[in-house]
Amino acid sequence: MAARVVNVSAPEQTFLEKIYLIEVAKGMIRTLGHFFRNAPRTLLHEVPVIGKKLVAKLGIPTIHYPEQKRDYSDRFRGRHILKKRDDGTLKCVACYMCQTACPADCIHIEAGEHPNLAYEKHPVVFEIDLLRCVMCGFCVDACPKDAIWMTRDYELSFFTRQSAIYGIPELTEKPSDTASDGPGYGYRPYYGQSPMKKAGEFQPSGLALLPVLDLRAKAINRMPPPPQAPKPAPAQAAKPAA
Ligand code: SF4
Ligand code: SF4
């Protein structure tokens, strides 16, 4: 089928429209309006003691980064951390759930046998390519062991692509992550909903988070044990010969 041709006739531009004078003037008025509104407030930052309080009260929209940092929500999705058990080992059991759920295909895990038999598996390799990561938090949601959380660290810049691939040493949680000047915890499971939420720590998900299932488990435990199969009768002793 032949392509349909549509003829469009643009209206003739006036002289002022041709030299963009009005558009430039409109843009300058808008820009200078923002400048004269924000500049005096920004200068208030430099006034000792009361300056910052005044700025906070006036609700100034700009901040002096990096001296000042924005206080993001506790659900902010920043750099990932791998959580540890009390004995210092990683909680991760290399189940590949996060790798499977990741829409950016940026998690790479290789599983190995854990020296402690109780844990069975652990990640020998656990890498996240932070240049591919879209910070969606799906890996956190998918983890059955609450082993991967996110922090509020948004200062992720790299000089090489290779340095953007974080392995186990970089991902393992460090005291500096939760220090007073550290980024603090960000997105993690059940935040703000879990009755098991404690000060900065969470219990692994399980029956306790689902009261209905918990009741059902208790009911099952109260049920009488299943009937035992009848024991075979002991063989009759052979009668002595007459
Ligand atoms: S935050 Fe999203 S994109 Fe990033 S590693 Fe997790 S699942 Fe993948
Ligand atoms: S989902 Fe959790 S336990 Fe499974 S591999 Fe990922 S971090 Fe480890």
Q: 3-state DSSP call for residue 98?
A: helix
Q: Whose CA is nearest to atom 2 of ligand 1?
A: 136
Identify the domain containing residue 30 by its residue range: 15-58
* CATH number of the domain enclosing 132: 3.30.70.3270
Judge if 91 and 155 occupy the same domain.
Answer: yes
Measured in Å, residue 131 CA sits from the centre of ligand 2 at 20
Number of domains in the chain: 2
Cα 78 to ligand 1 centroid, rounded to whole Å: 10
State which of 58, 89, 110 marks the end of a domain. 58
DSSP H helical ranges for the chain:
15-18, 21-44, 50-58, 97-101, 138-142, 168-171, 211-222
Asked whether residue 199 is domain-assigned, the answer is no
- 34 C-alpha to center of ligand 2: Å? 48
Q: 106 and 34 in one domain?
A: no
Question: Based on the domain organization, do 31 and 107 belong to the same domain?
Answer: no
CA distance linking residue 76 with residue 139, whole number of Å = 14
pLDDT tens per residue, the chain (242 residues)?
Answer: 577 888 888 888 888 888 888 889 999 999 999 888 877 777 776 777 777 777 777 766 677 788 778 888 888 999 999 999 988 999 999 999 999 999 999 999 999 998 887 788 999 999 999 999 999 999 999 998 889 999 999 999 999 999 999 999 999 999 999 998 889 999 987 665 544 444 444 444 444 445 555 555 455 545 455 556 666 666 554 455 44
The pLDDT, as a whole number, for residue 211 is: 56
Q: Which ligand is nearest to the CA of 150?
A: 1
Residue whose token pair is 């920043």: 78
Alpha carbon nearest to ligand 2 atom 4, residue: 95
Task: Give the pLDDT of residue 15.
Answer: 84
Query: What is the predicted pLDDT for the residue at 202?
Result: 47
Whether 29 maps to a domain, the answer reads yes
Beta bridge partners of 82: 148, 172
- Can you tell me which atom of ligand 1 is nearest the CA of 107? 5
Q: Are residues 105 and 30 in the same domain?
A: no
72: in domain:
no
Of 177, 193, 227, the residue that ends a domain is 177
Residues 33 and 122 in one domain: no
Tell me if 28 is assigned to some domain: yes
Instruction: State the pTM of this model.
Output: 0.64
Domain boundary among 151, 177, 203: 177
Long-range Cβ contact pairs of 203-211 (< 8 A, separation 24 or more): 204/145, 204/146, 205/144, 205/146
Tell me if 63 is assigned to some domain: no
Query: How many whole angstroms from 147 Cα to the centroid of ligand 2?
Result: 6
Residue 127 sits in the same domain as residue 47: no
- Which ligand sits nearest to residue 151's alpha carbon? 1
Residue 204, SS3? coil
